[in-house]
Chains A and B, each alone.
Chain A
Amino acid sequence: MADYEEIINKLKTDRENAARDAALIVDESSAAKFKTTYLSPSSVLAESTQAIKSLDGQFKPLVGQASNEHKQYLTRLYDQAIASLKEKQLKASLSSEKLDITLPGRPVHRGRLHPDTQILRELLAIFSDMGFQVFQSREVETDEYNFQLLNFPVGHPARDMQDTYFMDVPDRGDNPLVLRTHTSPGQIRAMREIAALNPSDPPPVRVIVPGMVYRYEQVDVRHETQFDQLEGLAVGEGITFSDLKGTLTDMARRLFGPDARTRFRASYFPFTEPSAEFDIQCFQCKGAGCGVCGGGWLEIGGSGMVHPNVLRNGGYDPARFTGFAFGFGVQRIAMLRYGINDIRYFWDNDLRFLEQF
């Protein structure tokens, strides 16, 4: 039969030993060793717990309580030692895992839109907010759509304004196929499509026509023979030249900031009357004149009120409807926006250019 006092003494000695050994826990193995010595089934604690049932009744609660207290003590010692061990290990690892944070990041291969697409999206969003919807139109056109219906009669001197690529298709007389010289045939196609919805009372038109156009022109840093143009057309019963000015000025503000200003100069296009070239005040020099602009203004594009003949060709009675139209080169805007020096970069697709956007 176990002796009550002997048990109590053993526990006391064990307690002192444990306090000493806990201080020696410095790594996982000394922690495991501590656990085996003091908290395993062969430990003093386990022995004493085991011994309780053979004690006299009066001692049972006393030893029970002592064992319990001892267990709590040992567990606390162990937990504290483990916690301080972990803290030490963390400190050690933090100080050893110091990176050279100035080394470059791991390269990511990002996909990108072509800069022409990027600027076009921006432009389309601006006009979309003003209610202009995108109308797309073909690139190979008939002379009729590219010229005649736009009030360029056969043999008219205005045709000299647009050097034209003709397709090699024989026997077409006065209606050869051409690579469209401007997006303006889209005006006729859009008006005809929309007017056809209700020919006797045609609905108003507010479209924007982006697309590739072609001019027979030698290529240099400023001139391309294939370029992207954006055409706008608004037809209705109350569309005015002042609306044209306001619309393009709104565009300029969206592109170049709230202080942007526009200027309209009288001009001539067969399909508009009155006609105007529109300029945006140079964002670089604010109109003072600089290397970007020359005289303080950047020439952007052409515009005007839709010529009565063109309205009629589109299915709109010029006595009832008026309209405005404008067009400009998309790359021109991109070049100003992104400081691109050479228009030939656009379709050359050199990745060293494209990967800058």
Chain B
Amino acid sequence: MKAPLSWLEDFVEIDLPVARLAHLLTMAGMEVEEIRVIGLPLPEPGSTTAQLSGFEWDREKLVVAEVTEVMPHPNADRLVLCKLNDGKQEHIVLTGAPNLFEYKGIGTLAQPLKVAYAKEGAQLYDGHQDGLVLTTLKRTKIRGVESYSMICSEKELGISDEHEGIMFLDPALVPGTPLVDVLGDAVIDVNLLPSFARCASILGLAREVAAITGKPLNAPRFSPPPATSDSAWASLEITDPSLNPRFVLGLIRDVKIQPSPERVQHRLKLAGMRPINNIVDATNYAMLELGEPLHAFDYDVLHKRANGNAVKIITRAARQGETLTTLDNVERKLDEGTILVCDEAGILSLAGVMGGLESEVTATTRNILLEGASWNMIHVRRTAKAQNLPSEASYRFTRGVHPSMAENGVRRGLQLMSEWAQGKPDPLLVDAYPKPFTAPEVEITTQDVKRWLGLELSAVRIAELLARLEFKVEVSGDSVRATCPDHRMDIGEGITGKADLIEEVARIHGYDNIPETRIKDALPLQLGNPTLRRTDHVRDLLTALGLQEIISYRWTTPEKEGRRLPKDAATDDKPYMRIANPLAYEKAFLRHSVVASLLDTAERNARHAVKMALFEIGPVFLQSEDPSGLPDELTSLGVLLAGQRSPSGWQKADTAAMDYYDLKGVVEDLLESLHIADVNFKPGDHPSYHPGKCALILAGEQQLGVMGEIHPAVRERYDWGDTFKAPILAADINLDLLLSLIPELSRTKDIPAFPAVVEDLAIVLDETIPAVDAEKLIRQVGGKLLADLQLFDLFRGGQIGEGKKSLAYRLTYQAPDRTLTDSEVAQVRNRISKRLDQELGAKLRS
């Protein structure tokens, strides 16, 4: 909502600098996004959060002047020379403004033209450049004629984009008057939140300015035409009052359609609307001023449609299949639920959105039927959206226009039309108001204010603050009874109404004047969040293991995620959760796999990274059978390793590529640190992974996840660039399950008090026997005395023989309560080697 200060001042005195006013409005909920000065000094940068535009007009160099004669240019048809008086002396000024050509060569003008005159050195916007570029007026020669000054267009002054011709001023102005004294203004652009619909007008904003600054509001008063339910010229039928609570009609005869007065056009432009003609301008002006959108019909068209009878206006919801050609000449198919203004012959307009072409006001219109109404905002919103017709009218109706405003709107419109178009208003208004709006009455107490705001205010103070906003207030003891004024629809009943009033009290009292306190309420039961605590623990462990955390977009496409499987593999056929209105197809599906996100990330980084060690914790989305229809959001942990084991430095580093065992080390350390019991790994079979380098991660019988080297056929579906050759290792772990297996308490072992006996044991066994079987057996037989077991060498070939491998373990024997004797250790050792031989055919390596 763009509001010129000069217009606001019609209703309230403003004695603050504009930046201060903008600040006060912003703090009270009406954020001023832009301040545009028209000739006035620019506020200091930093004095306001609003954007600043416009420039200050020099009092000496930009003045009112009068053109007394327009003469042809000796050398150019497209230029004229103006004899001009700037209040001090006469000048000859050169211009190419087409709107002066009609005065060319007719001698001294009977009625001199008042114009905006810029002298040498004046600062102006450059009219010939796009956008707003400040320039200084310099002396020059155009086609042999000296030029040192000019007559300004609106664009050059920063009033509008108009640069076709020069700007004409009010004929009553005195030459020599500084321009800023007659046109100087500032326009504030206010971003109105949905609850501030009442401020979508100059009067509405002025009301808030008055309340905030404590000045009186000079609200306009309208002397009736009195209202009637029907008249000789029109009657009304509202078929559904919930769609159309009120409808008011006025009639004005014998209007002369012509341009509006200069000052009216000027105001409309400042407020961001294009002047059209005096009738359309009157409807727009009244709407901007009071907030009630009006619609003007050509009465004679309607009268003809009614076969010369009184016009009957009917409002109703559209029926399936109806159409209307709107005044932008588009034939529109109407949805059921669209509210229509009709006569007995058919549809006239889309209520609150746009008029129909047929009954539009034209240059030849003489009699005007003027509509002011109130509409169901949800229906209007739906129509404006469905027809893609945002307009000044629908902007207001979709936020709510109070029915009481219909009457004053029509009266103001008629008043303006009679003034600007010399029309004669009918003495009566036709008014149907089947669903009167009851003004809410709400009681609030000093205790309520204290309870909500933590602020002590007297009842008298509360009443005074509300009265500033035109609430009718009644104080009794600690209580204030407030009745809502008839321009507001945002105040509720009961406890909601209390909350609404408390907001108004806080706003006008000033949020800045509410103290800052600490919560005095008792602290609620402190239960923490075990899931988050454990998740964070996992994050810490993984970063301690050298992994970088990533966080990805949740959206993907089935094709993009499908790359995590070989081309010919069965696809992931679980249905995706799909976004109905994505920004792009690439962002239309919620992911199934965190590993897919990690692979995408690794692909993007491969060109500039030699080592990638990544993890992500986040949800994957799977459709569920839940009756709510909501998907399952399962938390996954994905790990990806690829590239050099150690980062490259200037010394020779371990630049070998990471392999399956690097990944396994990470997974093992993680699970061990979390004290997950009975962790074991089984050969896995998953299409994403190399068949010989894939493991299922198990805790007991439960599968925590899968890990391994990414299948070469999968790897090649990603673009790793020319240099990144290393295998890609990944793990996909069900974090929800993992967290549930972390024991609440874990047991810490004492530091041994007695010495350990450390021995090495090397065995040779068949290649086909997994190492884990030997390890399990050694641990089982070693029992309590075997405190630790570590594989320190794996050897194949040489004397070991084909199909065999040698495993070398370091065994640590230790008892918590005594020093072990040689014979005790020997007994265990012998038992171990015997069982290894019996059960695995493993021989001690000599």
Known: A133-B528, A238-B521. A111 touches B629 (CB 8 A): no
B319 sits at the interface (CB 8 A) = no
Report the separation of the CA atoms of residues A307 and B519 in the bound assembly, to the nearest whole angstrom: 19
A157 sits at the interface (CB 8 A) = yes
B108 sits at the interface (CB 8 A) = no
Interface residues in B708-746 by Cβ distance below 8 A to A read none
Known: A114-B550, A204-B524, A234-B519. A351 touches B506 (CB 8 A): no
Report the separation of the CA atoms of residues A264 and B511 in the bound assembly, to the nearest whole angstrom: 6
Decide if B523 touches A206 in the complex (CB within 8 Å): yes
Residues of A within 8 A of B604 (CB): 348-350
A181 sits at the interface (CB 8 A) = no
B144 sits at the interface (CB 8 A) = no
Known: A139-B554, A155-B378. A246 touches B548 (CB 8 A): no
Q: Fill in one digit per residue for B498-538: 1 if any A CB lies within 8 Å of its CB, else 0.
A: 11101100110001101111111111111111011000100
Residues of A within 8 A of B524 (CB): 131, 133, 194, 203-206, 236
List 5 A-B residue pairs with CB atoms under 8 Å apart, sorted by A's residue number. Answer: A179-B579, A226-B553, A243-B519, A308-B495, A308-B496
Residues of B within 8 A of A212 (CB): 554
Quote the shortest CB–CB distance from B628 to chain A (angstroms).
7
Quote the shortest CB–CB distance from A119 to chain B (angstroms).
12
**Counting chain B CB atoms within 10 Å of each CB, which of A194, A219, A267, A347 scores highest?**
A267
Decide if B519 touches A133 in the complex (CB within 8 Å): no
A136 sits at the interface (CB 8 A) = yes
Decide if A116 touches B521 in the complex (CB within 8 Å): no
Report the separation of the CA atoms of residues A270 and B653 in the bound assembly, to the nearest whole angstrom: 60
Q: Fill in one digit per residue for A121-153: 1 if any B CB lies within 8 Å of its CB, else 0.
A: 100000000110111101111100000000000
**Counting chain B CB atoms within 10 Å of each CB, which of A103, A130, A246 scores highest?**
A246
8 nearest CB pairs, A to B: A289-B46, A242-B454, A295-B49, A240-B454, A266-B29, A111-B543, A274-B503, A155-B378
Report the separation of the CA atoms of residues A311 and B527 in the bound assembly, to the nearest whole angstrom: 22
Report the separation of the CA atoms of residues A140 and B591 in the bound assembly, to the nearest whole angstrom: 12
Quote the shortest CB–CB distance from B620 to chain A (angstroms).
11
Decide if B452 touches A322 in the complex (CB within 8 Å): yes
Neighbour of B543 across the interface among A113, A219, A266, CB < 8 A:
A113
Among A1-9, A87-95, A158-166, which stretch is in contact with chain B? A158-166
Among B5-13, B65-73, B263-271, B642-650, which stretch is in contact with chain A? B642-650
Extra A-B contacts (19), CB below 8 Å, given A111-B548, A268-B196, A307-B496: A103-B650, A107-B646, A111-B545, A116-B551, A130-B519, A131-B526, A155-B381, A168-B579, A218-B583, A243-B518, A245-B516, A246-B518, A265-B28, A274-B503, A289-B45, A290-B46, A305-B502, A347-B553, A351-B609
Interface residues in B284-325 by Cβ distance below 8 A to A read none
A24 sits at the interface (CB 8 A) = no
Decide if B621 touches A273 in the complex (CB within 8 Å): no
**Counting chain A CB atoms within 10 Å of each CB, which of B455, B519, B528, B653 scores highest?**
B519
Residues of A within 8 A of B613 (CB): 109, 111
Report the separation of the CA atoms of residues A347 and B618 in the bound assembly, to the nearest whole angstrom: 12
A318 sits at the interface (CB 8 A) = yes
B436 sits at the interface (CB 8 A) = no
A156 sits at the interface (CB 8 A) = yes
Neighbour of A268 across the interface among B193, B528, B608, CB < 8 A:
B193
A292 sits at the interface (CB 8 A) = no
Report the separation of the CA atoms of residues A203 and B523 in the bound assembly, to the nearest whole angstrom: 10
Report the separation of the CA atoms of residues A225 and B555 in the bound assembly, to the nearest whole angstrom: 11
B827 sits at the interface (CB 8 A) = no
B577 sits at the interface (CB 8 A) = yes
Residues of B within 8 A of A158 (CB): 194
Residues of A within 8 A of B46 (CB): 288-290, 295-296
Decide if B515 touches A266 in the complex (CB within 8 Å): no
Decide if A347 touches B552 in the complex (CB within 8 Å): yes
Quote the shortest CB–CB distance from A235 to chain B (angstroms).
9
B612 sits at the interface (CB 8 A) = yes
B128 sits at the interface (CB 8 A) = no
Residues of A within 8 A of B587 (CB): 225
Report the separation of the CA atoms of residues A156 and B450 in the bound assembly, to the nearest whole angstrom: 31
Residues of A within 8 A of B582 (CB): 165
Known: A243-B519, A289-B45. A157 touches B377 (CB 8 A): yes
- Total residues of chain B contacting the partner, CB 8 A: 104
Residues of B within 8 A of A267 (CB): 29, 193
Known: A139-B633, A205-B524. A107 touches B648 (CB 8 A): yes
Q: Fill in one digit per residue for B365-399: 1 if any A CB lies within 8 Å of its CB, else 0.
A: 00000000000011001100000000000000011
Report the separation of the CA atoms of residues A103 and B651 in the bound assembly, to the nearest whole angstrom: 10
Quote the shortest CB–CB distance from A115 to chain B (angstroms).
9
A294 sits at the interface (CB 8 A) = yes
- Total residues of chain A contacting the partner, CB 8 A: 99
A355 sits at the interface (CB 8 A) = yes
Residues of A within 8 A of B549 (CB): 111-114, 117, 354
Quote the shortest CB–CB distance from B338 to chain A (angstroms).
14
Residues of A within 8 A of B244 (CB): none
B187 sits at the interface (CB 8 A) = no
Quote the shortest CB–CB distance from B317 to chain A (angstroms).
15
A172 sits at the interface (CB 8 A) = yes
Report the separation of the CA atoms of residues A351 and B610 in the bound assembly, to the nearest whole angstrom: 11
Decide if A266 touches B581 in the complex (CB within 8 Å): no
B135 sits at the interface (CB 8 A) = no
Residues of A within 8 A of B26 (CB): 265
A250 sits at the interface (CB 8 A) = yes
A74 sits at the interface (CB 8 A) = no
B806 sits at the interface (CB 8 A) = no
B406 sits at the interface (CB 8 A) = no
Decide if A245 touches B545 in the complex (CB within 8 Å): no
Neighbour of A350 across the interface among B48, B507, B527, B605, CB < 8 A:
B605
B570 sits at the interface (CB 8 A) = no
Q: Which residue of B lies closest to A275 (CB)?
A: B503
Residues of A within 8 A of B500 (CB): 273
Neighbour of B633 across the interface among A107, A138, A245, CB < 8 A:
A138
B47 sits at the interface (CB 8 A) = yes
B601 sits at the interface (CB 8 A) = yes
Interface residues in B597-620 by Cβ distance below 8 A to A read 601, 604-605, 608-609, 611-613, 619
B363 sits at the interface (CB 8 A) = no
Neighbour of B506 across the interface among A236, A241, A290, CB < 8 A:
A241
Residues of A within 8 A of B189 (CB): none
Residues of A within 8 A of B452 (CB): 240-241, 274, 305, 322
Report the separation of the CA atoms of residues A267 and B30 in the bound assembly, to the nearest whole angstrom: 8
Quote the shortest CB–CB distance from B625 to chain A (angstroms).
14
Q: Fill in one digit per residue for A257-287: 1 if any B CB lies within 8 Å of its CB, else 0.
A: 0000011111110000111100000000000
Decide if B514 touches A245 in the complex (CB within 8 Å): yes
Decide if B47 touches A289 in the complex (CB within 8 Å): yes
Report the separation of the CA atoms of residues A218 and B193 in the bound assembly, to the nearest whole angstrom: 21
Report the separation of the CA atoms of residues A273 and B495 in the bound assembly, to the nearest whole angstrom: 11
Residues of B within 8 A of A113 (CB): 539, 543, 549
Residues of A within 8 A of B522 (CB): 204, 236
Decide if A138 touches B630 in the complex (CB within 8 Å): yes
Decide if A265 touches B511 in the complex (CB within 8 Å): yes
A297 sits at the interface (CB 8 A) = yes
Decide if B539 touches A295 in the complex (CB within 8 Å): no
Quote the shortest CB–CB distance from B99 to chain A (angstroms).
40
Known: A109-B647, A157-B398, A266-B29. A239 touches B521 (CB 8 A): yes
